[in-house]
Amino acid sequence: MAILQIRKLGDPVLRSRTKEVEKITEKTNELLDNMIDTMYAKDGVGLAAPQVGILQRVAVVNVGENLIELINPEIISESGKSIMEEGCLSVPNELGEVIRAEKIKVKTLNREGKEITFETENFEARAIQHELDHLDGVLFIDKTVKIME
């Protein structure tokens, strides 16, 4: 597979809202594969399509042993709040504390086009929320309550 170029702060694609995937094709699955390879190569825990210049509602997350592929994802419920330091491959060398939901329920499509719903919490929930923000043109620095150096 391919390692894709990560777009950096200042690139207008990072501030653009993505479009829903109308039909999952071989090209969609290739994008997922390339994003996964890129995320691992760059030591990230998540990657959204806009970060590689693609304006589609696609993201991948892996904070441990559970790879999550998200196509047209939507948070359908959330609970609790926590604050934690975040960073981003598209905003290198910056960290900031961000308040996010502790637990979320997500509805998404998998690479076969089947709708799945799952619940997650803590760091995995935070990573998913971070990547879903990218799909709406929002960066973590827009939500920081305190910039860390």
Contacting residues for 37 by C-beta, under 8 A, at least 6 apart: 1, 2, 3
DSSP 134: H
Give residue 64's pLDDT: 87
Report DSSP letters for 87-131, one per residue.
EETTEEEEEEEEEE-SEEEEEEE-TTS-EEEEEEEHHHHHHHHHH
Q: Largest Cα–Cα distance in the chain?
A: 42
d(CA 100, CA 102): 6
CATH number, domain 12-148? 3.90.45.10
Element (H, E) at 132: helix 122-135
Query: Which residues are identified as catalytic?
Result: 131
Q: How far is CA 6 from CA 1, 3, 59, 79, in A?
A: 16, 9, 13, 32
pTM: 0.94
DSSP 16: S
Count CA atoms closer than 13 A to 44's CA, side-chain side: 26
d(CA 110, CA 142): 29
DSSP 64: S
Buried b (16+ CB within 10 A) or exposed e, 17-40: ebeebeebeeebeebbebbbbbbe
Q: What is the pLDDT along the chain (149 residues), one digit of tens a residue?
A: 799 999 999 999 999 999 999 999 999 999 999 999 999 999 999 999 999 999 999 999 999 889 999 999 999 999 999 999 999 999 999 999 999 999 999 999 999 999 999 999 999 999 999 999 999 999 999 999 865 55
| One-letter identity of residue 32 | L
